[in-house]
């Protein structure tokens, strides 16, 4: 099955700086890549996703890039704010398949 690896496991950034989280996947058939943000005591929140027919997608301060050849995708958060502090999970899925293969998660800490 699909295997998703996520790096780094913990990331600390100064408020206002950028944060980048990288994920790699193993199954070249994967074609959907969502990112979830999970704050303490809450459920995962879908913040952005990308499909394999595009290379980049942006939504205000967050963006996701996809490199199908290298089988990796990244989340970029610009102008980080304290409320960006959370655990971020990447995931991968194949069209028609209900399963999401999650990465292990990345703790992002934004230092005021």
Q: Which residues bind other proteins (CB under 8 A)?
A: 31-32, 34, 36, 42-46, 49, 51, 87, 89, 93-100, 102-105
Q: How far is the CB of 98 from other proteins (least distance, A)?
A: 5
Minimum distance from residue 103 beta carbon to other proteins (Å): 7
Q: How many CA atoms, within 13 angstroms, populate the side-chain half-sphere of residue 49?
A: 12
Q: Which is nearer to other proteins, 75 or 103 (CB)?
A: 103
Residue 5 or 15: the one with the smaller Cβ distance to other proteins is 5
* Spatial CA neighbour of 74 closest among 87, 88, 85: 88
Nearer to other proteins, 34 or 84 (CB): 34
User: Could you tell me which of 90, 75, 103, 76 has the C-alpha nearest to residue 35?
Assistant: 90
CB atoms closer than 10 angstroms to residue 40: 7
Cα 3 from Cα 5, distance rounded (Å):
7
Task: In angstroms, give the least distance from the CB of 106 to other proteins.
Answer: 11
Smallest gap from Cβ 36 to other proteins, in A, equals 7
Nearest-angstrom CA–CA distance, 73 and 88: 13
Give the nearer residue to other proteins in terms of CB position, either 78 or 100: 100
């Amino acid at each position: 099955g699909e295997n998703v690896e996520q790096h780094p496991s913990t990331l600390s950034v100064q408020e206002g700086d950028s944060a980048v989280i990288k994920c790699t996947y193993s199954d070249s058939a994967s074609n959907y890549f969502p990112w979830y943000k999970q704050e303490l005591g809450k459920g995962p929140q879908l913040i952005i996703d990308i499909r394999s027919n595009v290379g980049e997608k942006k939504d205000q301060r967050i963006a996701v890039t996809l490199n199908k050849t290298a089988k990796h995708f990244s989340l970029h958060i610009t102008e980080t704010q304290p409320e960006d502090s959370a655990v971020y999970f990447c995931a991968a899925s194949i069209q028609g398949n209900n399963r999401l293969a999650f990465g292990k998660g990345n703790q992002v800490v934004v230092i005021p």
